[in-house]
Amino acid sequence: MPVIAMTQEMGSLAKDVSVELAQSLGLRIVRHEIAEHVANRMHVPQSLIGRLREGKAGLVERLTTDQRSVALYTAEELYDLADRGDVVLRGWGATCLLRPVPHIVSVRITRSMRKRVEWLMRDLETDDAEFAEAEIRRSDQAHASRMHEQFGVTWGDPLLYDLVLNTDRISVRSCVEQISLLVRRPEFAETAESRALLSGMALAARVKVALKDHPATRAISITVEATSGRITMRGIVLDDEERTQAESVAADVAGVTDVDNQLKLMSSTRRFASSKQT
C-alpha cells in the first residue's frame, strides 16, 4: 500500500510528476479534496482555505479564521488518507506530517526560478515576467511561513526529504522512475510496526479534532498519543470537570479502546490569573 508525500512548488512540474507516478503505480492523487474537507468541517468557503494557503487572504480573513482548526482538520484528513494507503499526497504539509512513518516516501520536486517563471508565464498566457516571479515568490513565502509555524522547520531543507529531484535537469519520466524505484526498496517496505505507528497517528488526530469540536473541550490544548487503540492525554486543564470531559470525549472516538488520562489540574494561582484575563 504505497504512500508518497510530495511538495507542491509552483512551476516545479510536481503536478506532472504526481499524475504520471499515480498512473504508473495505480495510485490515487489527493490535493484539492483536502481543501474541501477542511472547508466543510469549518463551515467556510473552500476558496477561503485556498487563499489562506497561497498567501492571498486579506488581513481580516487571516485574523478571523481559526488557524488551529485549519491545521487540525488538515492533519486529520492527511493521516486518514495515508492510513488507507495507495495514494500520492501533494502539498498540505504531508512531507512533514508523515515524515515519522518509515514506509512513507517523502519527495521534493524543485526547479530553478527562471524555469518556474517561464512555466507560469505560459500558464497565465502573459509576457509579464516580473508579475510571474512575484506570484511565485509570494506562494513560496506562504509555504515557508506555514511550514515554520506548524512544524518548526525550514521549508526546502533537503534533510526533510528522502529524495530531491530537480526538473531543470531530470525529466518528468525520470523523476517517476526514481521515485518508483525508491518505493520498492526494502527501506520503505511497510511493516507491522510502521503500519501501527501510522494508524496511531491517525487515531490521535481524530481525538484532537473531537476535542476541538466539543463545546466543553474546544479551548484546551493538550498532547494526545495513540498506541493500539489506547489514548494517552497529557497537559494541563482548568479543573476536574474539564479533565473528566476530555476523557469522555476521547473515549467516544471510533477506534479508541482505552484512555490513559494523565491531564493535570491548573494551579489555583494560575487559574485565578486565567479567570481575570477572560
Q: Tell me what pLDDT residue 137 has.
A: 93
- CATH class label, 3-188: alpha beta
pLDDT score recorded for residue 270: 55
The predicted-structure confidence for 3-20, as pLDDT tens digits, reads as follows 999 998 999 999 999 999
Contact by Cβ (8 Å): 123, 30:
no
Write out the three cell numbers for 75.
492533519
In this structure, the dihedral spanned by the alpha carbons of residues 67, 90, 155 and 224, taken in order and rounded to 10 degrees, is 50
What is the H or E stretch that residue 195 is in?
helix 192-213
Q: Quote the Cα angle for 231-256-193, to 5°.
A: 70
Range list for CATH 3.40.50.300 in the chain: 3-188
Q: What is the pLDDT of residue 155?
A: 81
pLDDT of res. 78:
92
Residue extent(s) of CATH 3.30.1340 domains in the chain: 192-277
Q: Which pLDDT value is given to residue 277?
A: 41
pLDDT tens digits, the chain, 278 residues: what are they? 799 999 989 999 999 999 999 999 999 888 778 888 888 888 888 888 777 777 777 777 777 777 788 888 889 999 999 999 899 999 888 999 999 999 999 999 999 999 999 999 999 999 999 999 999 999 888 888 888 888 888 888 888 999 999 999 999 999 999 999 999 999 999 999 999 999 999 999 999 999 999 999 988 889 999 999 999 999 999 889 999 999 999 999 999 999 999 999 886 545 545 443 44
User: CATH for 192-277?
Assistant: 3.30.1340
